[in-house]
């Protein structure tokens, strides 16, 4: 069973702080990794993609990937109340037989940014 694991939270951080969200995945063949933000009752919104080991920065967001440890993380700098949402880690096994392009999602981490 290919799994993506996240701590469900809630993770509470004060406004302006750095929020750190973590994700582990079980399948070493995974090739593409994504972070989605989902507000309550809304659809997943893509915020970051990462394909290679290391860091990838986009504005206040930094995604980190360590394939050896099967670990992906998302850092949100200068957290704002509008960042309060559930953050979904999604993993794609493109490149392997039968992997196709389906995304396997974690259960999500609820982030609360407090004033």
Partner 1 sequence: EPEVTQTPSHQVTQMGQEVILRCVPISNHLYFYWYRQILGQKVEFLVSFYNNEISEKSEIFDDQFSVERPDGSNFTLKIRSTKLEDSAMYFCASSEAMAAHYNEQFFGPGTRLTVL
Provide the binding-site residues for partner 1, judged by CB under 8 A.
Answer: 31-32, 34, 36, 42-46, 49, 51, 88, 90, 92, 94-95, 98, 100-108
CA distances (Å), 41 to each of 32, 61, 86, 100, in order?
Answer: 26, 23, 11, 28
Among 83, 63, 77, 81, residue whose Cα is nearest residue 23: 63
Residue 114 phi/psi, 5° resolution?
-100, 140
Give least dist CB 74 to partner 1, A.
15
Give least dist CB 88 to partner 1, A.
7
Among 6, 2, 1, residue whose Cα is nearest residue 72: 6
Give least dist CB 90 to partner 1, A.
8
Measured from the CB atom, the residue of 1 and 115 that comes closer to partner 1 is 1
Measured from the CB atom, the residue of 17 and 103 that comes closer to partner 1 is 103
Measured from the CB atom, the residue of 49 and 70 that comes closer to partner 1 is 49
Give least dist CB 62 to partner 1, A.
17
Measured from the CB atom, the residue of 35 and 79 that comes closer to partner 1 is 35
| Residue 82 DSSP label | G
CB 19 within 8 A of CB 13: yes
């Amino acid at each position: 069973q290919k799994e993506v694991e996240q701590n469900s939270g809630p993770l509470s951080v004060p406004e302006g702080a750095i929020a750190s969200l973590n994700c582990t995945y079980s399948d070493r063949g995974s090739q593409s990794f994504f972070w989605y933000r989902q507000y309550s009752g809304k659809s997943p919104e893509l915020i970051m993609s990462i394909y290679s080991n290391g860091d990838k920065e986009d504005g206040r967001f930094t995604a980190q990937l360590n394939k050896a440890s099967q670990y992906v993380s998302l850092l949100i700098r200068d957290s704002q109340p509008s960042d309060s949402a559930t953050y979904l880690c999604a993993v794609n096994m493109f490149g392997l037989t039968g992997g196709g392009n389906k995304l396997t999602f974690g259960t999500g981490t609820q982030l609360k940014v407090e004033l």
